[in-house]
Structure 1
Amino acid sequence: MRHFLTLRDCSADEIHQLLRRATELRDMHRAGQLHQPLQGRVLGMVFEKSSTRTRVSFEAGMAQLGGHALFLSPRDTQLGRGEPVEDTARVISRMVDAVMIRTFGHDMLERFAAYSAAPVINGLSDLCHPCQLLADLQTFTEHRGPITDRRVAWIGDGNNMCHSWIEAAGLLGFDLHIAAPPGYRPEADILALGGERVQLFDDAYAAAEGADLVTTDVWASMGQESEQAAREEAFRGFCVTESLMECAGPEALFMHCLPAHRGEEVEAAVLEGSQSVVWDEAENRLHAQKALLEFLMLPPENGPLHPAD
């Protein structure tokens, strides 16, 4: 049994395999090919934090693979009434084939996984967002080829998305330039995972210079609404503008995990512009997660992944 709490729960080779399989599944879906290896399987989806893309992509993904997904919010379960996470994990994991959790504290995920009899997937935590990174990596690969030895510029908050980009840089061997103001930089222990592949910048334009991909996220995530005004002040100069994109490579892509606040972390002209692949990126949440669900829920001898050529 495998969990997927961070990208580091997979090897670099396994991540590459997942990306190839995700593109295969996307092409099969677009061709109308029926593929239902998860018939009779159930995914439990625990949402402590609301979502559009995470819920729709996992629920649709399970349906397309022939399985079923159960949506569980704190209002619908004993978790919301104080039942220990460990007890909930032991009960739910005996009734479903995998559990996806979207939560605030990463420690909740780790506690759940420690007592779960089924694979646990991190749908988002305050520490990282590995499912989004699978979709982002798939999108880049489909548009520009392998990301190894390329340059990615992260502009903005050193948050959970930034942390997962750091993990990816260390695993897959690309350069990551992070532009973030003091006080909003990534956690030091996460930063160390990227090694020499990761550099910090005070200036967004310097970070974006020569980048193959520029990516960002909202300045105030869910649960940080009270910090909005302070963050707007701190992040002045960290908006992804058309002029900033001109500093990147001539074929640079722009990504955003969404939802986006036009005029804050990104100009509308960039989000809707020719370099933006955010809508492909959003769709690929579906296909990357289907590849992950197959990987975690099918026995290895029956799974779709094969060693790298």
Structure 2
Amino acid sequence: MSTRHLISTDDLTDDELRYVVDLGEEFSAGRAVLDRPLTGQIAGIYFRKTSTRTRTAFSAGALRLGAQIIAYGPDDLQLNTGETTEDTGQVFSRMLDVLVARTAGDPEEMRGWAAQDRMSVINAMSSVEHPTQGITDLVTLKRRFGKLEQLRVLYVGEGNNSAASIALSITRFPGVHLELRTPPGYGLRPDVAARAAAHAQRCGSTIVERHDMADLPPELDAVYTTRWQTTGTSKPDPNWRDVFAPFQVNAAIWQDHPNAVFLHDLPAHRGEEVTADVLDGPASIAFDQAENKLHGAMAVLDWCRRGIVG
């Protein structure tokens, strides 16, 4: 077995990203063969922050692929008594084959855990990126449209870790147009925006970020939002909701884009970032997207332990 890590989607080459997305879509469509490649392996599931979809997806996915799992909560490790993250990583790597971790903190901690060749490390969400969410999003779009090339996607809301991951992944497919409409002061991190722009230039796609909701693109295949209060974060501005209010996704968008699908990484707060008639309406594929967390997780686990197969 090989050892590969996924801390950022930028850890994947273009071919590897396409392979993982295609494999996730095959799992989603029921076409992939479940040959249980993780039989005999142990996956650690370590979450410091709350999770419904990602934790369940990686736990169920590891089990379906033949692994056994050990789950850790935020108060279970000696990190709380002062043990260094480096020492914790050394111990993990001598007992586990895969570590799936949500820290909601600096991803460099996970880089430290990945500085060995025995245990794969998977970022289940850091403060900067949520790469497995980005892969889930691409699996969902591929499943819906049969392709990723040439899609036109509108992202509305905070330039958070989910926004970063869709920006860093979908821009690597030719002909894609990704437009982000983020509230003033809550856009993509400059380093993420620069990396996504470099991907777009290299791969023949386009990415635009604006801080208003005027003059939306004339053609859209998908509209995507996330909740305004990102897991594990808080906003220092007490009036931040006033800044976010114009960026609510509601039915008015579908007046000009009747064929667009709606995505949401969940959990959702109806009446805030999205209205109930959109989230629960015919355009919504948000719960298909949630289900694809499992299929994307299985594809990531398979790639981390086996690489490209076939």
**TM-score under structure 1 length normalisation:** 0.90
**1:114 partner SS:** coil
Alignment correspondent of 2:262: 254
Alignment correspondent of 1:152: 153
Q: Which amino acid aligns with 1:26?
A: S
Alignment correspondent of 1:42: 42
Report how far residue 229 of structure 1 moved.
4.7
Alignment correspondent of 1:223: 232
Q: 2:299 aligns with which of 283, 286, 291?
A: 291
The C-alpha deviation readout for 1:182-213, integer Å capped at 9, x for no partner, is: 11011111101222521112322534542211
8 Å CA contact 1:170–1:193 kept in 2: the answer is no
**2:124 partner SS:** strand
**TM-score under structure 2 length normalisation:** 0.90
**2:208 partner SS:** strand
8 Å CA contact 2:49–2:232 kept in 1: the answer is no
Alignment correspondent of 1:25: 27
Q: Which amino acid aligns with 1:88?
A: T
Alignment correspondent of 2:110: 109
Matches of 1:215 and 1:205, distance apart in 2: 17
Matches of 1:27 and 1:152, distance apart in 2: 22
| Aligned positions of 1:191-206 closer than 5 A | 191-195=193-197, 197-206=206-215
Over 3 Å counting, the alpha-carbon distance change for 1:228 and 1:36 in structure 2 is: farther
Report how far residue 168 of structure 1 moved.
1.3
Q: Which amino acid aligns with 1:285?
A: K
Percent pairwise identity: 34
8 Å CA contact 2:138–2:170 kept in 1: the answer is no
Q: 1:186 aligns with which of 182, 185, 188?
A: 188
8 Å CA contact 1:104–1:125 kept in 2: the answer is yes
**2:262 partner SS:** strand
**1:44 partner SS:** strand
Between structures 1 and 2, the one with greater helix share = 1
Matches of 1:150 and 1:122, distance apart in 2: 26
Matches of 1:41 and 1:119, distance apart in 2: 11
Compute the RMSD of aligned alpha carbons: 2.0
Report how far residue 115 of structure 1 moved.
4.8
8 Å CA contact 2:49–2:102 kept in 1: the answer is yes
Alignment correspondent of 1:126: 127
Structure 1, unaligned stretches of length 5 or more?
none
Alignment correspondent of 2:53: 53
| Higher alpha-carbon deviation: 15-24 or 57-66 | 15-24
| Aligned positions of 1:271-286 closer than 5 A | 271-286=279-294
Alignment correspondent of 1:214: 223
The C-alpha deviation readout for 1:130-170, integer Å capped at 9, x for no partner, is: 10111111111111121222211110101111111211133
Over 3 Å counting, the alpha-carbon distance change for 1:177 and 1:28 in structure 2 is: closer
8 Å CA contact 2:135–2:169 kept in 1: the answer is no
Alignment correspondent of 1:175: 177
8 Å CA contact 1:89–1:116 kept in 2: the answer is no
Matches of 2:216 and 2:196, distance apart in 1: 16
Matches of 1:147 and 1:218, distance apart in 2: 24
Over 3 Å counting, the alpha-carbon distance change for 1:247 and 1:84 in structure 2 is: farther
- The aligned length equals 299
8 Å CA contact 1:90–1:116 kept in 2: the answer is no
Structure 2, unaligned stretches of length 5 or more?
none
